[in-house]
Amino acid sequence: MLQLEGADEAIAYYDEGLRLDPNSWWRNYAVGGKAAALILQGRVAEAVPLAKEALLLNPGAVWTSAYLIIALVGLDRLDEARAALAAVDPAQKGALHNLWNDRLRALMTSALAKIGADALAEGV
């Protein structure tokens, strides 16, 4: 949804879906997608708990790990961001750059550089 609409519309979409079915099988996608939309709005503090919830529901979701890392770096919680990066499966770390949105990709590159993951920040 966020790929097709603006962040405001995406947040409304996710909120409505969660209101209608709070225990839906797609809850991890909804809360993860809402976290991404909040990040795009600069509301990183609100994105952190949603990204954490999505990771509890689907621990291997590398895109949700990316959202969490971006949000934590945005709050200058660098040690937590490093811990979130360390929790990503090493075989999937390269996928951190495969975010679908140009702004999110740029934020991810910047976040990785800020926490000292220089090789990953360069997309290696």
Here the CATH number for the domain that contains residue 17 is 1.25.40.10
Question: 88 lies in which domain range?
Answer: 7-121
Q: Report pLDDT digits (tens) over 12-23.
A: 999 999 999 999
DSSP 5: S
Residue 1: per-residue pLDDT: 47
Amino acid at 92: Q
3 pLDDT higher than 70: no
Across the range 48-76, mean pLDDT stands at: 96
What distances in angstroms separate CA 1 from CA 37, 68, 74, 91, 109, one per listed residue? 10, 19, 24, 28, 23
**CA-CA-CA-CA torsion sign (49, 124, 86, 90):** positive
Is residue 113 domain-resident?
A: yes
Residue 1 lies in a domain: no
- pLDDT value for 5: 58
Number of helical H runs and strand E runs in the chain: 7, 0
Query: Is pLDDT at 64 greater than 50 in this prediction?
Result: yes
Whether pLDDT at 119 is above 60? yes
Can you tell me whether residue 65 is helix, strand or coil? helix
In single-letter form, the type of residue at position 43 comes to R
